[in-house]
Structure formats: C-alpha cells, structure tokens
Amino acid sequence: MTYGILFDSTRCIGCGGCAAACKEQNRLPDEIESRTTAYTWTVVEQREGAYVRRMCMHCLSPTCVSVCPVGAMKKTDAGPVDYDPDLCIGCRYCIMACPFDVPKYQWDKLLPVVGKCVMCAPRIAEGKAPACASVCPTGATQFGERDALIREAQERIAREPDRYVDHVYGLEEAGGTSVLMLAGVPFASLDMPGNLPHKPLPQLTWQVLSHLPDLVSVGAVALFGIHWITKRRTYVRAIEGGDRPVEPPTRAEDGGSER
C-alpha cells in the first residue's frame, strides 16, 4: 500500500498552516522563509491569484534516490522519499539532479546536510497523516492512498470541469509522483516544470550503467587479445627479418616495457 498527498490549489486559501506545522513537526527553525530552503521544507506561494505548495513530490522512481552515491535517499514502501543525514557525504548530486529542485543544502553550516520534505515518514509509520495534511483547514492538502487520491482527483475534475484544468499533475510527470496536484490555472503558470519526460528519469542513466559489466568482460578479452597478437607479430617479424636470435616471449617477458 503506497500513500500520497493530493494538493488542490483551488481549495487553498494560502493560510500557511501547512508550513508552520511542518516546522514544528520536523523541529526546524521557526522563521518561514519566502521559498523552500534546507530549513523550510514547504511554503505556499501565490502565482496569478492561485496558491501552490512547494514541497517534495515524492517521485515513484525518484531521481535523488538513483543519483545518491551512498544511498542516503530512500523511497519507502509507504510512499515517502526519506533521507538519512548520517550517510550523506555532501556531493549535492541530488540537489543538482532533482527535476523539481526540491533538496536544499545547509550552505551556512560547516557540517551541512540536505533538507527536504520527507512526507513525515515517522508519522506515517505510526499510522498518522503528515503534519501539513492534518492541519489543513480547507482540505486543500489531503493524505491518503495514492490510488484513491487519483480517483478522487479525476472525479473532482469530472464534477467541476470549469473549476479545474484537465490535468492531474504528478500522474505521469517524471514517471509519476506520490504527490498529486489539481489547479484552476495551467501548471506552467504555477511554475511547475512542464517539460518533464513521462518515463522515470533514472532509466536514462541506468540504461548506460547496466551495460558496463558487459563492457568490462568483452573489453578485457579484446584487450588481452590485441596484446597477444601485436606481441607475437613483433616476435615473428624479428625472426623473419633475420635479426639476431631473440628469446621467445616467455612469461617473464610478457607485459611490456623492458626498462
């Protein structure tokens, strides 16, 4: 069973309760900054008269999980993309690669770690909804099973086609996300990325990486073979050329430089 969050922009009144609850739940500094940082994991922004939440989209095949060299990012079965600061080496590949620009860094610290929404993974493990969803006064942020949320979102669009643009954001973007969004204005005007492939992004690197073992085995055989042929060619040429007698290529001579 995998959970998700449905954010309905048309129901959001911009009260910022979600951002405040997030701060409290995750013991972050009180000040809610104007955009997400390593210390502010979610904010409500206004675009063209509509509200939109910035938060981790919790991709089904997360880019950050795929790129992290030490596995500090993990997609849990319940849905959240969780982060283990004790493993992180600070390479910042997740920050660079995330298609939604979600992970942020503690640039001001000497021992920095990444900060990002983790969908309150500990709360979900206890059977509770994430802090933001549990405080939302209008139901704009709603927690539930992802499949049920998709049905709910599609029903809302069908019920009130004038209220919504006909697009459940997160259904297919970057291979699908656990966070889904509905809006009354096009998502591009909410600054949500519109140019994302519908295939999971990690496939782009995996289809190269997964061939490397083949490359190693074939390459090793080919290279040793080339060495064998060129070595023998030199030996034969020396004999046919009637040079002074040369020792046959014994084991000791194998492998090159005669320095």
128 binds another protein (CB under 8 A): no
255 binds another protein (CB under 8 A): yes
Question: Quick check: helix, strand or coil at residue 121?
Answer: helix
Q: What is the DSSP letter of 37?
A: B
**Residues in region 48-87 near another protein by CB under 8 A:** 63, 65-72, 87
Phi-psi region of 254 (alpha: psi -120 to 50; beta: other; left: phi over 0): beta
236 binds another protein (CB under 8 A): no
Smallest gap, in angstroms, from Cβ of residue 110 to another protein? 4
Site string for another protein, 90-119 (x = CB under 8 A): xxxx-xxx-x-x--xx-xxxxxxx------
Among 6, 12, 81, 88, binds another protein (CB under 8 A): 88
188 binds another protein (CB under 8 A): no
CA terminus-to-terminus distance, the chain: 66
Torsion over CA: 167, 143, 95, 98 (sign): negative
Alpha carbon distance 195, 111 (integer Å) = 35
Helix spans in 71-163 (H)? 93-97, 121-125, 131-135, 146-159
Q: Kindly state the number of chain residues that form the binding site for another protein, as judged by CB under 8 A.
A: 68
Which of 238, 217, 235, 201 lies closest to 96, judged by CA?
Answer: 201
170 binds another protein (CB under 8 A): no
Which of 56, 64, 106, 14 lies closest to 202, judged by CA?
Answer: 64
Which C-beta is closer to another protein: that of 36 or that of 178? 36
Alpha carbon distance 183, 165 (integer Å) = 6
206 binds another protein (CB under 8 A): yes
Smallest gap, in angstroms, from Cβ of residue 32 to another protein? 16
33 binds another protein (CB under 8 A): no
Among 117, 135, 183, 201, binds another protein (CB under 8 A): 201
254 binds another protein (CB under 8 A): yes
Which of 184, 144, 172 lies closest to 51, judged by CA?
Answer: 184
For residue 248 the two structure tokens come to 């046959």
Among 31, 162, 240, 258, binds another protein (CB under 8 A): 258
> Footprint of another protein on this chain (CB under 8 A)?
37-38, 63, 65-72, 87-93, 95-97, 99, 101, 104-105, 107-113, 193, 195-197, 201-202, 204-206, 208-209, 212, 215-216, 219-220, 223-224, 226-227, 230-231, 233-235, 238, 243, 246, 251-252, 254-259
